[in-house]
Structure 1
């Protein structure tokens, strides 16, 4: 199923709206009291969090001659990057086609179409790799049928991470000290793009990755995931495994509880990724009370009113009492449910040496 729209007219004045999202102090209890952490509210920025990498990827392609003026842009997305690409397409004059899936929330479908994006749906997950693999298969089919179309490839494009350098600068402009950075991990772009510049100024910075239970990014096998926008059924090339000091996997019950506590206690909240990073950031602040802990809230709550904030949805999926603390596992390849923590981060794409006889 597709919807057609006319190509946008370039409007580079929009580029000046990217960035400068608010920085909020979060102190509400999340799995217990904590001294507080800082959250960059990217969901309140024009074009959302993914406007930064979307603009970076298209400008990079334009500079290299890979994307001629007015050429179509095609990408797979679970939603948030779609908003960013719709913004970048308007700003730079490129029609945007987004390959999405049947689980994309109806309000976001309407919003993406209103922003001028063409939606192409896949109606069933792939046997291996789920919705993500199905979207990528459909994307490659569309690219073969559309000469001159450009695929940004958010999972392997270094311009993805480069788009977040401005976010790192905005953090250091506001905060003299950052000890712990907590980042959700999907394509790997924002953790790499923020941590790299910050560590050049703050070499002692610790990076904590937050993944979804059922994601394969850090080693476990891919499993069906209820949470969208966090985790992956593939291992993106943009993930810089060596940069992480530890990783936490968060389940949907924990993310829902954190989102609702944020909304009722600190007024700022969001979706699955926001709840997951907030929970881990509160844990980091509680266990390191002298540290300055910073995270990024990728989105706001509006997209999730029928899921995260809907009692019927959470009851239907059995999202009951959340865990109060993470269970520690010795190696990322160990499969565990719920909130789990591992302090040994390795690149699962590199074969592990066989044990000595």
Structure 2
């Protein structure tokens, strides 16, 4: 007697993991999948494992959004119902909107004209207020202009709280569960490839992994025009990675090397991911995939490489995945080289394309200053 279709499906599903049954949206954060990525980034058998953080409701920064707010409440730094005000180019804004809904706080996201219109509408739909600065700071660019605006709003908002994602150690600590997930999914991890913006997820995940994989090599991925690793500040088309300030959450000593990636190279990688693997995202995802593919081709066979994909493609439909927009910015039909340029020192020259440097240090010398004090 043949099983019915329903019985067959039930029988097959009995051995499969049971999806989460969530009572609150915050329960959907975490336990994201890992996908094997090989061609065209690396030959078959020499690929990398991509942690798909776009499977979170809003992306990777749901994790620190919830954690920073929860910890501030636990320490009585954030009173019940008090306003949350923070600077964001987008993804943390979604995480804070989720935290505001979860814990009962109004949220204001301070951003700039570079935020996609779709992201502004999405944040508004989720109940956040969006405050947009109109001009970049003469030295710190849009990020510093946003931070100054946050300070202005806090000064006139009694009880207002800023999570300060750039300098709050809770930002990094929020990613320890992600490290535990990777260890449960992959066991040993030899190389971690992560984009760097505030420095939170690269520092937190690497610290968690090194408790079990002490020889882990961390490869940082930055964008051209970013000051994080010692390059001069310049206007940046890519959002979500890079910075025009120097966040103290960046753990410079944790990195084995850094790669800078240009926008056209990231666009190529994003579109290849979408076409070949049905899993893609924004600027950070493309840049990370490009570098992780290089690592998969370069490191010895059998090296286990994990790469963090911070978000999905949806907010980039009018930029990265829009042919007209990409043509206007000269980003189409520019396949990247198979190898990055190499520089010996991070400030040796101004990089304008994919470039690698194995010397990583804090351009402000903060680690050396702390050591001298001790």
Question: How high is the TM-score relative to the length of structure 2?
Answer: 0.89
Deviation at 1:188, TM superposition (A): 0.3
Deviation at 1:124, TM superposition (A): 2.0
Deviation at 1:318, TM superposition (A): 1.5
Q: Is this contact kept in 1: 2:268–2:336, CA < 8 A?
A: no
- Greater relative contact order structure (CA < 8 Å, 6+ sep): 1
Deviation at 1:102, TM superposition (A): 1.2
Superposed CA RMSD: 1.6
What secondary structure, in the 3-state scheme, does the structure 1 residue paired with 2:211 have? helix
Deviation at 1:322, TM superposition (A): 3.6
Q: Is this contact kept in 2: 1:53–1:159, CA < 8 A?
A: yes
Measure the CA separation in 1 of the matches of 2:320 and 2:288. Answer: 15
Say whether 1:59 aligns with 2:70: yes
Where does the alignment leave 5 or more consecutive residues of structure 1 unmatched? Answer: 1-10
Structure 2 match to 1:344:
359
User: Which stretch of structure 1 is more off in the superposition, 16-25 or 210-219?
Assistant: 16-25
Measure the CA separation in 2 of the matches of 1:13 and 1:42. Answer: 19
Q: Is this contact kept in 1: 2:58–2:91, CA < 8 A?
A: no
Structure 1 match to 2:325:
313
Q: Deviations over 1:120-153 (max 9, x none)?
A: 1112222222211111111111111111100000
| Change in CA separation of 1:131 and 1:12 when aligned onto 2, cut-off 3 Å | farther
Measure the CA separation in 1 of the matches of 2:187 and 2:307. Answer: 15
What secondary structure, in the 3-state scheme, does the structure 2 residue paired with 1:245 have? strand
Residue number among 290, 294, 298 corresponding to 2:306 in the alignment:
294
Structure 2 match to 1:253:
264
Residue number among 320, 323, 327 corresponding to 2:336 in the alignment:
323
Q: Deviations over 1:84-118 (max 9, x none)?
A: 10011101111100001112111111110111100
The alignment covers a number of residue pairs equal to 342
Runs of 4+ in 1 over 6 A off after TM superposition: none
Q: Is this contact kept in 2: 1:143–1:149, CA < 8 A?
A: yes
Deviation at 1:257, TM superposition (A): 0.1
Measure the CA separation in 1 of the matches of 2:312 and 2:30. Answer: 15
| Change in CA separation of 1:351 and 1:13 when aligned onto 2, cut-off 3 Å | closer
What secondary structure, in the 3-state scheme, does the structure 1 residue paired with 2:57 have? coil
Structure 2 match to 1:266:
277
| Residue correspondence of structure 1 range 9-88 to structure 2 within 5 A | 13-30=24-41, 33=43, 35-88=46-99
Measure the CA separation in 1 of the matches of 2:351 and 2:55. Answer: 34
Deviation at 1:290, TM superposition (A): 2.4
Structure 2 match to 1:116:
127
Question: How high is the TM-score relative to the length of structure 1?
Answer: 0.93
Measure the CA separation in 1 of the matches of 2:315 and 2:75. Answer: 35
What secondary structure, in the 3-state scheme, does the structure 2 residue paired with 1:231 have? coil
Greater C-alpha radius of gyration: 2
Measure the CA separation in 1 of the matches of 2:86 and 2:153. Answer: 10
